[in-house]
Amino acid sequence: MSELYQVSALTKFYGAKAALNNVTFGVEPGRLVGLLGPNGSGKTTLLKISAGLLQATTGQVWIDGQEPGPYTKAVTAFLPDRMALPTEYRVQDAVAFYRDFFSDFDTAKVQAMLADLKLEPGQPIGALSKGPQEKLQLCLTMGRQARLYLLDEPLGGVDPAAREYILRTILCNYNEDAAVVISTHLIEDVETVLDEVLLLKDGALLAHQNVDELREESGKSLDEYFREAFRC
């Protein structure tokens, strides 16, 4: 099967500091991949370059055979690590924005998810606490029929019950033709659902491996392997 998401020799400098250093990997459709690493390892930079929001210093990204641009933005759903919508928007304004902006947006599915969360259409986003804001933005992102989902720290800063809901929402709303990349440092929460892992350390790719193979070869859980690899 050909790779849907390819990264080749990707490097990004901020001044003299390399946020990414010669990162290369590929992801096939139907895979759920954990992008793992501590804060400052380059996870957000990698996802933003892939989503077309940042320019790389050198190297390339291809999504469905295309470099970042109008086509890749149309087939990639990006979840930022913080609320990206104006907080004066109401919930229904956010839904209308996504409906108008993305042709693959499933309004009925998202409205059903929001009703399940008891998020009222007229509620201002700014009046919601962090957990409901995270869930709203995730529902909007997963309401698209994208080829690639890039999710930056969807589990960060919310309680365990919210994390469970977020993971369930991700798992139930992508199809076998799509790939999902989840950036996180909360390994224990995602270990059981991941097919592969990308381990980033100081901007370099430490490993890209099938999760089952990694556990078998190392004799450790993914969480134990991560803690050992990133021990200070």
**pTM of structure:** 0.93
Backbone angles phi, psi at 40, to 5 degrees: 85, 5
What is the identity of the amino acid at 157? G
Q: What per-residue confidence (pLDDT) applies to 176?
A: 80
Query: Quick one: average pLDDT of 33-47?
Result: 94
Contact between residue 143 and residue 106 where contact means Cβ atoms under 8 Å apart: yes
What is the total count of domains within the chain? 1
Q: What per-residue confidence (pLDDT) applies to 167?
A: 87
**Residue 232: pLDDT above 60?**
no
- Cα–Cα distance measured from residue 197 to residue 33, given in angstroms and rounded to the nearest whole number: 5
Query: Quick one: average pLDDT of 57-72?
Result: 96
Structural domain of 69:
5-229
* CA dihedral for 160, 166, 168, 171, sign (positive or negative): negative
Query: Quick one: average pLDDT of 54-81?
Result: 96
Task: Please name the residue that has the structure tokens 């901007």.
Answer: 203
For the chain, the first-to-last Cα distance in angstroms comes to: 38
104-147 pLDDT, tens digit per residue, is 999 999 999 999 888 999 999 999 988 889 889 999 999 999 99
- Run of H or E including 214: helix 211-218
Report the CATH number at residue 190.
3.40.50.300
Query: Quick one: average pLDDT of 2-21?
Result: 96
- Cα–Cα distance measured from residue 211 to residue 192, given in angstroms and rounded to the nearest whole number: 9
Contact between residue 11 and residue 22 where contact means Cβ atoms under 8 Å apart: yes
Residue 54 CB: number of other CB atoms within 10 A? Answer: 17
Strand partners, 183: 35, 152
Query: Quick one: average pLDDT of 66-84?
Result: 93
Give the length of the chain. Answer: 232
Instruction: Give CA separation, 45 vs 81, 83, 177, 231, in Å.
Output: 11, 17, 25, 22
181-223 pLDDT, tens digit per residue, is 999 888 888 888 999 999 999 999 999 999 999 999 999 999 8
Mean pLDDT computed over every residue of the chain: 92
Q: Which tokens belong to 130?
A: 């962090």
Question: Cβ contacts of residue 175 below 8 Å, gap of 6+?
Answer: 145
